Structure 1
Amino acid sequence: MTENVRFCQYFKQWMELYKAGAVRPVTYQKYEMTYKQLVALAPNMTLEELSRLTYQQLLNDYAETHERQTTMDFHRHLKSSLLDALEEGMIGRDPTRKAIIKGTSHQQHKIKFLHQYELQALLNELDLAGEVNWDYFILLISKTGLRFAEALGVTPDSFDFAHQTLTVDKTWDYKSSLGGFAPTKNESSVRKIPLDWQTVIQFSQLTKHLPEDKPIFVQGKVYNDTVNHYLERLCKRAQVPVISVHGLRHTHASLLLYAGVSIASVARRLGHSNMTTTQQTYIHIIQELENQDNDKVMKHLASLI
């Protein structure tokens, strides 16, 4: 009977039936997290007990310890399952209608990046004389702004040395125990990144005798923490602020913006789906550059008679 079916029980069945194998593993993990949260918040709530009031209370309970965007994701997962339950006649009406999404205040996460002279000091510490190592991995991200999984997915045939470009069309699923190639984050992430001549020379030498279709940097299981700890030691040796591998991506974008590269070009290089993402991520730099531009405008106007 429907009145005895627990909401979390139904969601788990729905998730396994409609989402398992239909979405990327990393996306399915988010549905599994929603299920765990649902069990923690309302382990005994049945479909029959669901109403706009009880559903709103469930969202409010979740929102007490999560930011609004995270609460919105939680709501979307639950809503999708409940709309199917409504269509199947398991519930009489949509309890998610006009739901109010709340959440804790957004925490401004400080973006850590290096300034140009700091990045140069870090790069000076790299050992690029031997074979493939994490130093080359750090160099590649510093010069291209690749995401961690994108850099792991780079193979020798990703490079077009004649035209000085790197094609990003796959990632490496380092979070899975099995590993393997995986799609990019989104369609916009598929891109060709122009390379400087120095990087071309370094990687043409490095990849000369490597298998064309095998990932350059993957030797067994790869952990993000392993590379971050290695980078931390390099930063301390170079006497610069400690940043993460993702911080190298921020460093790359920041240096381009300070150099006067347009937001549109930076967005394409990073593989952002739109310029809004770039603007929101680097708003502090953009505002600083706008202030500099305003000073230039005022000086120019003041010189006019």
Structure 2
Amino acid sequence: MPVEFQTTDQLKDYYRNWISVYKEGAIRDVTLAKYWMSLSWIEKLAPDLELCDVTRVVYQQIINEYAKEHERQTTMDFHHQLKGAILDAVDEGLIPVDPTRKVIIKGKAPSGKKTKYLNQFELHTLLKNLKLGEKVNWDWFILLVAKTGMRFSEALAITPGDFDFAHQTLSVSKTWNYKDGGGFAPTKNKSSVRKIQIDWQLVMQFAMLVKDYPVDTPIFVTKERVYNSTVNDILERYCQKLEIPVISVHGLRHTHASILLYAGVSIASVARRLGHASMTTTQKTYLHVIQELENQDVDLVMRSLANLT
């Protein structure tokens, strides 16, 4: 039986119903959780605010209060999640004028934490010390993520059928819902559906490793529930033993991208390989790497100009 949209008087009630009607079942659970979190902030910041009283000033005050405890990008996300419902309320005549127009996004200064990744020598040290036997283990998982840059959930969902050994590609078209008990799930976004070119050595290794595995069965998922922390603990022990920076599985993804950028691979190619929705995401995530490369470019330009005598 379809859910009917209810007209309500308060912003928090309207937003709650709006999420239920327009977002539940239409977006991934992890994204839906962000909308429910935004609702909890509305309940905290404007518990008694009437929908008809949401003016530009009132809306800006809500954004300002949220920004006091969050960075600017997080505040921007909150604004976008709330704005969709507000504009629908305007279309329905429940709010006379768009209160989100010309909103000013503020926020705390970014923490300044650098993305954790290994350099090429450190990654080589890690990979050559992995225990890669004849049977699948988490060391093989670490190798695959390091060489493809896949997200944790994407790598968990990989089946033997996703490999095209003849053309040296690996298809990413799904994820594994490890947080909620397992099962295949959609990718993070449409751009995440992609083919990743893999090197001949990885082709030979995995062709032998998965030859007797069912084509459509995840390679790394057993009957036991999978936890991100399991692989992170293995990685941490390796890093400590080898005296290299301690990184997480997600840090392997950052390592993969950083090494490609330092090697001169274009931002557009790295973005496609990682499954980013846009190059902007890649640029923001690896700004420190890009800035370092730009500094090297400046030095190269200056040396080139100096030789023009």
Asked if Structure 1 and Structure 2 have the same fold, meaning a TM-score greater than 0.5 normalized by the shorter chain, the answer is: yes
Q: Do structure 1's residue 60 and structure 2's residue 54 form an aligned pair? A: no
1:10 shift after superposition = 1.7
Q: Supply the distance in 1 between the matched residues of 2:267 and 2:95 (Cα, whole angstroms).
A: 48
- Any conservation in 2 of the 1:3–1:48 contact (CA below 8 Å)? no
1:278 maps to a residue whose letter is T
- Any conservation in 2 of the 1:125–1:237 contact (CA below 8 Å)? no
Instruction: Write out per-residue CA displacement over residues 227-250 of structure 1, whole angstroms, 9 at most, x where no aligned residue.
Output: 212211111122111011111111
Q: Do structure 1's residue 281 and structure 2's residue 256 form an aligned pair? A: no
Q: Supply the distance in 2 between the matched residues of 1:39 and 1:279 (Cα, whole angstroms).
A: 35
1:144 shift after superposition = 0.9
Q: Do structure 1's residue 156 and structure 2's residue 154 form an aligned pair? A: no
Q: Do structure 1's residue 253 and structure 2's residue 267 form an aligned pair? A: no
Q: Do structure 1's residue 171 and structure 2's residue 175 form an aligned pair? A: yes
Q: Which residue of the other structure, out of 124, 147, 153, is the alignment partner of 2:128?
A: 124
1:12 shift after superposition = 0.7
1:205 maps to a residue whose letter is M
SS at match of 2:139: helix
Q: How does 1:150-299 map to 2 (within 5 A)?
A: 150-175=154-179, 177-219=180-222, 220-299=224-303
1:163 shift after superposition = 1.6
1:158 shift after superposition = 0.8
Instruction: Write out per-residue CA displacement over residues 26-58 of structure 1, whole angstroms, 9 at most, x where no aligned residue.
Output: 221111111111112222222244333322222
Instruction: Write out per-residue CA displacement over residues 105-162 of structure 1, whole angstroms, 9 at most, x where no aligned residue.
Output: 2232311111122112211331111422111111001111111121112111111111
Q: Give the TM-score normalised by the residue count of structure 1.
A: 0.90
Correspondence for 2:78: 74
Q: Which residue of the other structure, out of 9, 15, 33, is the alignment partner of 2:37?
A: 33
1:91 shift after superposition = 3.3
- Any conservation in 2 of the 1:189–1:273 contact (CA below 8 Å)? yes
- Any conservation in 2 of the 1:3–1:47 contact (CA below 8 Å)? no
- Any conservation in 2 of the 1:55–1:95 contact (CA below 8 Å)? yes
1:298 shift after superposition = 4.0
- With over 3 angstroms needed to count, the CA separation of the structure-2 counterparts of 1:15 and 1:252, relative to structure 1, is same
2:178 maps to a residue whose letter is Y
Q: How many residues align?
A: 303
Q: Supply the distance in 1 between the matched residues of 2:49 and 2:279 (Cα, whole angstroms).
A: 42
1:300 shift after superposition = 4.2
Structure 2 residue runs without a partner (length 5+): 1-5
SS at match of 1:261: coil
- With over 3 angstroms needed to count, the CA separation of the structure-2 counterparts of 1:55 and 1:286, relative to structure 1, is closer
Q: How does 1:135-154 map to 2 (within 5 A)?
A: 135-154=139-158
Deviates more, 1:221-230 or 1:8-17: 221-230
Deviates more, 1:148-157 or 1:38-47: 38-47
Q: Supply the distance in 2 between the matched residues of 1:46 and 1:269 (Cα, whole angstroms).
A: 46
Q: Supply the distance in 1 between the matched residues of 2:48 and 2:28 (Cα, whole angstroms).
A: 30
- With over 3 angstroms needed to count, the CA separation of the structure-2 counterparts of 1:266 and 1:93, relative to structure 1, is closer
Q: How does 1:7-22 map to 2 (within 5 A)?
A: 7-22=11-26
Q: Give the TM-score normalised by the residue count of structure 2.
A: 0.89
1:304 shift after superposition = 4.7
1:250 maps to a residue whose letter is H
1:17 shift after superposition = 1.3
1:269 shift after superposition = 1.9
1:178 shift after superposition = 4.0
2:267 maps to a residue whose letter is I
Deviates more, 1:198-207 or 1:294-303: 294-303
Q: Supply the distance in 2 between the matched residues of 1:15 and 1:170 (Cα, whole angstroms).
A: 25
Correspondence for 2:28: 24
Structure 1 residue runs without a partner (length 5+): none
Correspondence for 2:3: none
1:4 shift after superposition = 7.8
- Any conservation in 1 of the 2:114–2:288 contact (CA below 8 Å)? no
SS at match of 2:26: coil
1:303 shift after superposition = 4.2
